[in-house]
Structure 1
Amino acid sequence: MALEAARTTPRIAIIGCGFAGIGMAIRLKRMGIASFTVCEAGADVGGTWRENTYPGAACDIPSHLYSFSFEPNPDWSRTFASQKEILTYLKHCVGKYELSPFIRFNTRVLSARFDDDARIWRLDVETGGRRETVQADVVIAANGALSRPALPQIPGIDRFAGKLFHSACWDHDHPLEGKRVAVIGTGASAVQFVPHIQPRVAQLLVFQRTPPWIMPRRDRAVSERAKRLFRTFPVAQRIVRCAIYCQHEARALAFVVEPKLMKRPTAFSLSYLARRIKDPALRAKLTPHYRLGCKRVLLSSDYYPALAQPNVELVTTSIREIAEDGLITEDGTHYRADAIVCGTGFQVVDAGAPFTVIGANGADLDARWRREGPEAYLGTTLADFPNFFMITGPNTGLGHNSMVYMIESHIAYISDCLRALERRGARTMDVMPGIQRAFNDRLQRSLEGTVWNTGCRSWYLLKSGKNAALWPGFTFSFRRLTRRVRAEDYRFTD
């Protein structure tokens, strides 16, 4: 079956309908391209902001920066928007730019295979249990890095008799009131939902492998006066957005340029911990022993107070196994639980490709990434995968600023690739292998002196120690590199 919607060349398949997919679709419409379809596995738009509905889910980047630059929202209710508010914003974008006719919901892409003879992509998709083949000239993977929840690999996890679920698949129908609840993980999601479920449960066991560095989350309501100002004078909101961007971008100096600059924020974070946690034994458990920034720095003003409550126990001994009625740690202690919530993050750098992708001459993306580690050119294009583009591909994640800024940079670059194809009258383009290799060699050398490569264990790193997740520099440097396509970096075919 051919792609739906009005047909012009090229036919484009966008995979995913979160920030990246929606932003790409809007750009295509603005370019006068209507021959695209957005394949969305879920029943609605929103991506991670549709899926992550756990209590307290919110952004850790200020609202005014966590939105499209071309579609500001003057009505954010708080400085850090909640999941529901961000999802409402994305639905607004879909409605305003009339994207609904281009979206196929409940359509999961199982594989994408390049036809060497026809020079097109054939996508194997599943809709409502029915499989079909979709043809496209161009494929844009906008499914995002944080889209595959990772359950912990703990012996016995399948035999737990109580309720067990991942925070990204929160079971709102299962009541936690009065229950003994165990939380595995203390990452970005856990520090948000733990304070919300703590008052509801009889006992809360928080199993921590590594204590995170935490800074206070200075969240507050946005006044009606400020909203009126932003609606009346949009330039005021642009100024605020720019100021927030510059404030966050300055943090790259400590992350990338000179990690010694972390000394002052480290002292502040430790002081914040001391103020919030008076019990010296608990404070010792919560004190990180790695350089601030090596793992994701978390924002929360209520996590520490929640852990200090009498119905909470922080467990730092490793979990040996999961029994029918609870968890058993390496020292043999048996912790009984009625429910287990896994705040254990997502499959990212070690997970391989999100679906089967077979490029020119049988090139297998998953096999290549598992063998060599995920990599691409500018996190966007791949040698031997003609007309296959990624948004937020390898080494384009951030530890200091808004991913929406990076998404817009990807979108601009892909748009210019499409224009390059049109200018040359070419059917396909893919980056030359030597260009991709040289780029990634430079990138890895740039990462060597950053705070992320200072020895801690994080989801940024492969088991080999290679950082395949983060961009080793300022976001404006990535935007500069992706502003225009260098035609000499690519192989074009008619």
Structure 2
Amino acid sequence: MSHQQVKGGADQARTDQSRSNQIPSVKVAIIGTGFSGLCMGIKLLEAGIDSFVLLEKKTDIGGTWRDNTYPGCACDVQSHLYSYSFEGNPEWSKVFSGWKEIQDYTNHCATKYGLRKYVHSGFEVASAIFDEHLGEWTLTSRDGQQVRAQTFVMGTGPLHVPAKPNIPGLESFKGEVFHSAEWNHDFDMKGKRVASIGTGGSAIQYVPEIAPDVDQLYVYQRTAAWVLPRNERAYTGVEKWLFRNAPGVRKLYRSMLYWMNESRLLPILNPTVASVFSKVAKLHIRKYIKDPELRAKLTPDYTIGCKRILISNKYLPTFNRSNVELITDGIQEVGEDHIVTRDGKKRDIDAIILGTGFQADPRNYLKDFVIQGRDGKTLLDEWKEGAEAYFGMTVKGFPNMFQLVGPNTGLGHNSVIFMIESQVHYVIECLKKMKTKNAQTMEVKPEIQTQFNEWIQNGLKNTVWSSGCASWYIQDNGKNFTIWPGSTWRYRLKTRSVPETSFVWKSLSQLPEKIIEEGAVKADASDTPLAAAQ
């Protein structure tokens, strides 16, 4: 018997013994059941891989569109584009559909593609630990459930942990307080004095909806946002008939929307061109706001596109209402029943709505989630100076781990679903390559990741994102960790295949040895909630 055969037999015995001490094992574990996680599951099944689980912390699927149910909540990307290319929906009611319609769509996809039996709800992942001896990940929930997986995919998305402001005295407020992503539908706003803190993508949607109901609405604005008109309308019966009975028409329409949105990249990459668009946006403000002083407060002083551009036909006119006041002085403190601004003015308040967005920096939204790769190093250690990855998906030191909509793959001009589908395709190609090469692990080379991110940051220079404003795209040291600095079709072309030389591939026999202690107690995996995943 050769040395290699002996070593191979020892490796297999070591693996079998170690696995017998563990809970159920699958090929792929996916965290999250929003658009990313569901797409990953659908394409795994399409590739003939059914050994996977979808781990969901809540009781239902849907991600963002399950959580955000505030009045007026809708997507700012056209519905026919903010949906899977392989699962068109001819029944969208209007150009920009609301959260309920989008949530219904994700539920439809989960049912149609048979994903529900792979979903394990109530599994909030507390840690993901890589075992470099087995080349597998162990994912543990906050209540102690576990699952092992060769490959670990994060489909959590960057916008799911609410950002709540640190305002002096906020905790002492005796009235109603809630974040827009945690909307209290039981609270009756009629006749109430309501303070809305923040003027971002959520606030511009709910502010016009609640203004007619409340007695007084105070909108606290830190920075004005560029607001452009929204081409909002319902689809006609004829249009939906065509979408339903002539799929080619629907696909052509989707393609038109894609290229129309992609054309928005030109002013984003060229601040000089962006200045022309800012003039259009100023006309939009002037159309609705006649008071010069109010108009000045609602007009940004930074290059359009540097922060997220908002689209609405309802937001600006809301400030013409007698019961709506825009406040720009900044909050000094919150009392039991009031808010005091820095100019010393006190306003009595019954309720506070936090329209303050989300923890977009992975170092914040992953701070309570331990991800440990090779050599005991955590992802937060690796990202101490800022989040970065190779094509936003793989990170050196973390074999077999992929992140969907990871660092520098967010967009400011088009549908993120396009990026998700590109990334899911890439992950599938990686899994196929691992099987072909008989590799247990794959890991991006450090120098490849460094070169790629230098290219990313160079590409962000001289764009509107680096024109000087502070935004959630950029971390404290000025590094943009969020945006993809180019066209989406370029990203797709770059992720159609996996460059073998960019990764280190290891078979099971090449992994480090692990001594198995005699008398180890074997766990009965059939007793665990995830036994069905075997």
Work out whether 1:472 is the aligned partner of 2:485. Answer: yes
C-alpha distance after superposition, 1:153-187 (max 9, x if no partner) = 11111111111110000010111111000000000
Of 314, 324, 348 in structure 2, the residue corresponding to residue 336 of structure 1 is 348
Structure 1 segments of 4+ aligned residues over 6 angstroms from their partners: none
Q: Is the 8 A contact 2:126 2:370 kept in 1?
A: yes
Spell out, residue by residue over 1:28-52, the C-alpha distance to the aligned partner (whole angstroms, 9 max, x if none). 0000111000000111111000000
Shift of 1:264: 2.5
TM-score, L = length of structure 2: 0.89
Which secondary structure does the structure 2 equivalent of 1:449 belong to?
coil
**In structure 1, distance between residues paired with 2:305 and 2:313:** 18
Return the letter of the residue paired with 1:359. Answer: G
Rounded to whole Å, the distance in 2 between the matches of 1:350 and 1:380 is: 13
Is residue 2:137 matched to residue 1:121?
yes
**Equivalent residue for 1:157?**
170
Does 1:218 find its partner at 2:231?
yes
Q: Please list, as runs of the form range in 1=range in 2, the aligned pairs for 1:166-205 lying within 5 A after superposition.
A: 166-205=179-218
Superimposed CA distance per residue, residues 249-276 of structure 1 (whole angstroms, 9 cap, x where no aligned partner): 01111112x2211133211110110010
CA contact (8 A) 1:352 1:374 kept: no
Alpha-carbon offset, residue 286 of structure 1: 0.3
Question: C-alpha distance in 1, partners of 2:360/2:327?
Answer: 26
Pairing 1:314–2:326 present? yes
TM-superposed deviation, 1:352: 3.8
Query: Where in structure 2 are the equivalents of 1:40-119 lying within 5 Å?
Result: 40-119=56-135
2:262 counterpart (249, 253, 256): 249
Partner Cα separation in structure 2 for residue 131 and residue 194 of structure 1: 41
Q: Distance in 1 between matches of 2:485 and 2:184?
A: 37
Greater C-alpha Rg:
2
341, 354, 360: which one pairs with 1:348? 360
Q: C-alpha deviations, 1:229-259, integer Å up to 9, x for none? A: 0111101000000001001101111112x22
8 A contact 2:138–2:147 mirrored in 1: yes
Alignment partner of 1:292 out of 304, 312, 321: 304
Work out the CA distance in 2 between the residues paired with 1:54 and 1:87. Answer: 13
Query: What whole-Å deviation, never above 9, does each CA across 1:184-239 have from its counterpart, x for those lacking one?
Result: 00000000000000001000000000000000111100011111101111010000
Question: Identity over aligned residues, as a percent?
Answer: 45
Tell me which amino acid in the other structure corresponds to 2:136. I
2:158–2:362 Cα contact (<8 Å) kept: no
Amino acid in structure 2 at the alignment position of 1:132: Q
One of 475, 488, 491 as aligned partner of 1:462 = 475
Which residue number in structure 2 is paired with residue 39 of structure 1? 55
Residue 324, structure 1, aligned to residue 324, structure 2: no
- Partner SS, residue 165 of structure 1: strand
Match of 2:31 among 3, 15, 27: 15
From 378, 397, 403, the counterpart of 1:364: 378
Instruction: Confirm or deny: 8 A CA contact 2:363 2:387 kept in the other structure.
Output: no
Tell whether the 8 Å contact from 1:111 to 1:357 is kept in structure 2 after alignment.
yes
Q: Distance in 2 between matches of 1:271 and 1:17?
A: 41
Q: Please give the residue correspondences for 1:390-405 in structure 2 after superposition, counting only pairs within 5 Å.
A: 390-405=403-418
Answering whether residue 149 of structure 2 is matched by residue 139 of structure 1, we say no
Specify the alignment match of 2:222 in structure 1: 209
| Number of equivalences | 484
CA distance in 2, matches of 1:438, 1:353: 26
Aligned to 1:381: 394
1:353–1:366: 8 Å Cα contact kept in structure 2? no
Match of 2:464 in 1: 451
Residue 353 of structure 1: how far off its partner (Å): 5.6
2:153 aligned counterpart, secondary structure: strand
Structure 1 156/192 Cα, relative in aligned 2: closer, same or farther at 3 Å?
same
Normalization by structure 1: what TM-score?
0.97
Could you tell me which of 262, 278, 288 is aligned with 2:274?
A: 262
Q: Hey, what's the Cα distance between the residues in 1 that align with 2:136 and 2:289?
A: 59
CA distance in 2, matches of 1:363, 1:352: 18
What amino acid does structure 2 have at the position aligned with 1:364? T
Report the Cα distance in structure 1 between the residues aligned to 2:479 and 2:282, rounded to whole angstroms: 29
**In structure 2, C-alpha distance between the alignment counterparts of 1:226 and 1:248, rounded to whole Å:** 21
Q: Deviations over 1:106-132 (max 9, x none)?
A: 110011000122221111113xxx312
Matching residue's letter, 2:254 = R
SS in 1 for 2:111: helix
Secondary structure at the counterpart of residue 11 of structure 1: strand
Q: Structure 1 residue 350: deviation in Å?
A: 6.3
- Of 248, 273, 277, the residue aligned with 1:235 is 248
- Higher RCO, 1 or 2 (CA under 8 Å, sep at least 6)? 2
Deviation of 1:356 after TM superposition, in Å, equals 1.1
Give the equivalent residue in structure 2 for 1:433.
446
Question: Which amino acid is 1:137 matched to?
Answer: Q
1:295-353 deviations in Å (ceiling 9; x for gaps): 00000000011121000010001111111112111122112111000000000126446
d(CA) in 1 for partners of 2:388 and 2:320?
Answer: 42
Q: Which stretches in structure 1 are left out of the alignment for 5+ residues? A: none
Letter in 1 for 2:468: G
* Residue pair 1:352, 1:366 contacting (<8 A) in 2 also: no
Q: Is the 8 A contact 2:359 2:365 kept in 1?
A: no
When residues 351 and 318 of structure 1 are mapped into structure 2, their CA distance, relative to the original with a 3 A threshold, is farther
Contact 1:397 1:469 in 2 (8 A): yes
Within 5 A, what are the aligned runs for 1:274-289? Answer: 274-289=286-301
Residue type matched to 1:197 in 2?
Answer: I
